[in-house]
Amino acid sequence: MSPLLQICDQWQRFEHFLLTAHANPDGDAVGSLSGLANLLVRLGKTGHILLFEGLPVRFSWLNLPWPVVSHLPTNFEQCIVVLDCADLDRLGIDMAARLKGHELINIDHHTGNSLFGTLNWVDPGRSSVGEMIAMAARSLEMPIKGPLAEGLYLAIMADTGSLTFSNTTPQTLDVIAEILANGLNQDDFQAKMQRQWSLQKLCLHGMAMQNVSLRANGKIGIIRATEEMLDQTGAVQEDCEGLVEYVRRLRGVIVAVSLRKVKNGVKFSMRTWGEVNVQAVAAQLGGGGHPNAAGGHINTNIAQAEELVVQTITSYLTNHRDAKT
């Protein structure tokens, strides 16, 4: 039996569920959580969504049918599903420690997934976990419409760059076609998704763009969000999302990098248009992701993190002559 069919069988047998995803959840993680929760509700199931840092404000418009909790419920007589997480530690060290030893369903599309689940459905050929949940819905003969469709549409759009990235396949477009055929209102959806910025975020992005720099003869673009920038603008960590996309658009840049100060170090994100496998670069720094979008965490200050990231990218470019530089 395929992993998908095994997982659908598990979902039919359990009554109570705990769904979770990686720390600092993005659109694919949150959209997939929403989609799967709404799918399970249609099967008559109950449950919780576990996000130990809470639901990011920019996704507060989503129709989540279950409460979002920041700690593990005491009752473990339930099915635990981990979404969009290449390794259990991506949940956060404390959360990973608490979940180890429990039976887990692992649904993911990252290359290099550690297969930490009791049941593992990992398909790097899929654009997003949202696309995989759509496959599960079809397997369970559930029409992809309503709140289920809205969550999966968010997930797919987030991880495909609104269907512009190379991970957009005919199968991806087939799911999108079904969602639109079933009545999703794109104007309403885009208004809810796009109109989420605060003035503080706008000011932070403006300040960060004024301090962009180029390295490696213009091949690497760097944008930073320092503690001082956050303090001056009143922005929060969540407001740093999307900074890397600005430098990705610079002429001549083949690897865009954003660096932001977090509580215990620096979070880095890398993007490319396919010239470089940034997942392989991030892996050298203890991170992960996808060939065109990856990231991780470095326990140092921004200046040192920048030098380490630049050195690692430069070394990769030197040692991989197939990179389209």
Q: What are the domain boundaries of the chain?
A: 3-194, 199-319
Cα–Cα nearest to 37, from 60, 13, 67: 67
Q: Output DSSP code: residue 325.
A: -
Residue whose tokens read 């010239």: 275
List CB contacts of 274: < 8 A, sequence separation 6 or more. Answer: 166, 291, 292, 324
Cα–Cα nearest to 313, from 247, 229, 262, 265: 247
Whether residue 229 contacts residue 235, with contact meaning beta carbons closer than 8 Å, is answered with yes
List CB contacts of 193: < 8 A, sequence separation 6 or more. Answer: 61, 154, 157
Q: What are the angstrom distances between the C-alpha of 167 and each of 67, 173, 273, 293?
A: 32, 11, 11, 11
216 pLDDT higher than 80: yes
Q: Which residues pair with 104 in a beta bridge?
A: 80
**Comparing 297 with 74, which gets the higher pLDDT?**
297
Q: Output DSSP code: residue 291.
A: S
pTM for the predicted model, two decimal places:
0.91
69: number of CA atoms within 13 Å, CB side?
15
State the Cα–Cα distance between residues 66 and 147, nearest whole angstrom.
12
Share of the chain above pLDDT 90, in %: 86
Long-range contacts of 317-323 (CB under 8 A, 24+ apart): 317/216, 317/219, 317/276, 320/276, 320/277, 323/254, 323/275, 323/276, 323/277
Tell me the H-state helices in the chain.
3-13, 27-42, 93-99, 129-139, 146-160, 170-181, 186-194, 199-209, 227-233, 243-248, 278-284, 302-319
CA 322 to chain centre: 28
Q: What is the pLDDT of residue 20?
A: 96
Residue whose tokens read 């530690």: 89
199-319 is a CATH 1.20.120.1200 domain: no
325 — pLDDT class (breaks 50, 70, 90)? low
The 10s digit of each residue's pLDDT in 55-83 is 999 999 999 999 999 888 776 668 999 99
Q: Which residues pair with 47 in a beta bridge?
A: 17
- 3 state DSSP class of 11: helix
Mean pLDDT for 291-298 is 93
Fill in the amino acid letter for 273: W
- 3 state DSSP class of 154: helix
Residue whose tokens read 């030893």: 101
Lowest mean pLDDT among 37-46, 166-175, 195-204, 285-294: 285-294
Fold annotation for 3-194 = inorganic pyrophosphatase (n-terminal core) (3.90.1640)
Q: What is the pLDDT of residue 80?
A: 94
Q: What is the pLDDT of residue 322?
A: 55
Mean pLDDT for 84-106 is 86
Q: What is the pLDDT of residue 321?
A: 64
Whether residue 127 contacts residue 159, with contact meaning beta carbons closer than 8 Å, is answered with yes
The 10s digit of each residue's pLDDT in 27-54 is 999 999 999 999 999 999 999 999 988 9
Q: What are the angstrom distances between the C-alpha of 55 and each of 58, 183, 204, 209, 269?
A: 8, 26, 21, 27, 21
Q: What is the pLDDT of residue 153?
A: 98
324 — pLDDT class (breaks 50, 70, 90)? low
State the Cα–Cα distance between residues 187 and 173, nearest whole angstrom.
19
Mean pLDDT taken over the chain: 93
323 — pLDDT class (breaks 50, 70, 90)? low
